[in-house]
Amino acid sequence: MKIMDIHSHTYFSACGADKHEDTINAAINGGIQLFGISDHCYGIGERREEYIRIIDEMKNAYNGKIQLLCGIEIATVPGLGIDDPKTVKGFEYCLIEHIDRDESTVGMNIFDYADGFDCKVGIAHTDLIGMAVRKGLDPTEFLSRFADHGIFWEMNVNYDSIHGFSEHQYMLDFLNKPDITKIVKDSGIKLSVGFDGHRVYDYDPERVIRMNEFINNSGIEMVSFG
Ligand SMILES: [Zn+2]
Ligand SMILES: [Zn+2]
């Protein structure tokens, strides 16, 4: 298995600050083997070509040291998102956020929306089981719909100063409640792991590694990239 962390931010996000080299070196030093950069779509804005070019340059510079992926985190709240997935080109994956919010422009249309992308699609830091319960849906069946559309689900292990040192409860439930782990496994949904790093000094690769190992030991499949 390849230790993955495919959720990280650079200075392309207003909430981020790091240079690419710094985040990549922190990942390498932490034992990460597959590392994805996924700045906010509204942070990248009109700089998409530059964003993709820099990550391409990093792939060359770090060839053989770590596998890098070019991702994008896509908001689905009014004014910050991307209405037409067909306009998203040149990325290897995207992470969709906010679909469980009342004001989400995508919400339960996530399946049609995801089908519109030409790259892999994942759901970032969202309590999908809680969302199913609130909608009166069976959690296993709900997660299976994501699996059917090839949408993966992020286990977000963030714990840093930017987010007030709080942990995502859905991630803790997945780790600590065997019935929840079983629902995820039975559904067939594939998982990813992301630290959602915003500052290298906060980066904690041990959290990333522990989650990768837990998923692997649980017999749950991770999303794979080439
Ligand atoms: Zn996010
Ligand atoms: Zn993020």
Closest ligand to the CA of 37 = 2
pLDDT tens-digit profile of 133-150? 999 999 999 999 999 999
- pLDDT category, 32, cuts 50, 70, 90? very high
User: How far does the centroid of ligand 2 lie from the alpha carbon of residue 108, in Å?
Assistant: 21
150: Cβ–Cβ under 8 A, 6 or more apart, which residues? 114, 120, 121
Residue 73 Cα, ligand 2 centroid: separation in angstroms? Answer: 6
Residues 6+ apart with CB under 8 A from 155: 171, 174, 191, 192, 193, 194, 211, 215
- Measured CA to CA, the distance from residue 2 to residue 12 in angstroms comes to 27
Helices (H) then strands (E): counts for the chain: 9, 7
pLDDT exceeds cutoff 90 at 1: no
Per-residue pLDDT of 159-171, as tens digits, reads 999 999 999 999 9
- The bound ligand whose nearest atom lies closest to the alpha carbon of 101 is 1
Write out pLDDT tens, residues 82-97.
999 999 999 999 999 9
Distance 88 CA to ligand 2 centre (A): 18
What are the structural domains of the chain?
4-217 (3.20.20.140)
Q: How far is the CA of 98 from the centre of ligand 1 (A)?
A: 8
Average pLDDT, the chain: 97
Model confidence, pTM: 0.97
- For residue 26, is pLDDT > 90? yes
Neighbours of 79 (CB within 10 A): 7
Identify the CA nearest to 197 among candidates 187, 186, 208.
208
CA quadruple 95, 130, 3, 118: dihedral positive or negative? Answer: negative
Å from CA of 60 to ligand 1 middle:
27
Measure 209 CA to ligand 2 centroid, in angstroms. 18
How close is the Cα of 197 to the center of ligand 2, in Å?
A: 7
